[in-house]
Amino acid sequence: MLRTLSARHDRFALNAPFRISRGVKTAADVVTVTVAGAGHVGRGEGVPYPRYGETVEAALAAIEQARALIERGGSRADLAGAMPAGAARNAVDNALWDWEARAAGTSVSDRAGLPAVAPVASAITVAIDHPDAMAAVAARHADAPLLKVKVAREDALRQIAAVRAAAPTPRLIVDPNESWTIEEVRGWQDELIAQRVDLLEQPLPAGEDGALAALETSLAICADESLHTAADLGALRGRYTHVNIKLDKTGGLTEALSLAEAASAMGFGLMVGCMVCSSLGIAPALLLAQRAQFVDLDGPLWLAADRDGGAIDDHGILQPPRRGFWGEAA
């Protein structure tokens, strides 16, 4: 069956600066892929991430190299053999899922044997700022089920305490984005427990997280930057209790599904996350979110304007995109 593939760079301005330990961004730069054929159109989105050596230009070039494969009918399995895991493959893989479901007159959830997407409690992110400013953000979302606090090394405990004081009831994820040392994790763990932190996400740099194996703690600790695909899971045993599955790391929903199965079988708890992206970026991840213990898919909520029909936040409950947005016919 003849198909066409196209890819472009889209930029979405943010409604506020998004600050994490390694920098600040004011716009989301994404790659949008469209697969068309037999009267149906499938879409996918990827977010090239500089932390992993990715750029928009390189992603578009990689997609162009795979275009002939897809246009002559190549499968998602063929794609996985032709492109490495990452944002470029993510955009193409998810566009293929969308196209396949529409062409078959069914939904991606049915094709994957998964429950239909339903609203989920998704973290509201409190970005790095002065503790008082972070407390003000947390207070506005104090009725949400889950908050995620971005911190660095400086002022981390004050920032966490300020957020917890302003929002006493939500579950709390703390995310240093690789900026801590093992000495800081060891020295701060009692305070994190006292502040009722439910999950500490990737406190150490990915190349230094072997030190977590010797850490005696009751904290739940989640791998993010240390995990990309199922091949990484073996090295994470004894270091982490949970793993954060992001489709931009796995290279699409296809590998993410395999990763989730393998992680669960190995006893890891599941978190599903995203980059700062549009609702097209989180639509496939919402399928995995139905089984995750922690969900962090608020990327589109940072946009000044999302794609039409995108997801909507309702006091920390993420309402899925409207029917027909991705993965099913309208």
Phi, psi of 42 (to 5 degrees): -115, 145
Length of the chain: 330
Cβ proximity of 175 and 203 under 8 Å: no
List the Cα angle 320/88/19 in 5-degree steps. 65
Catalytic residue among 25, 148, 150, 249: 150
Q: Residue 173 pairs with which residues in a beta bridge?
A: 148, 199
Annotation marks residue 25 as catalytic: no
Q: Which of 142, 156, 143, 160 is nearest to 198 (CA)?
A: 160
Catalytic residue among 25, 148, 246, 249: 246
Round to whole Å and give the CA distance between 131 and 113. 44
Element (H, E) at 90: helix 87-104
Q: Residue 19 in 3-state DSSP?
A: strand
Please report, as a single letter, which amino acid is at residue 170: P
Give catalytic residues, as residue numbers. Answer: 150, 246
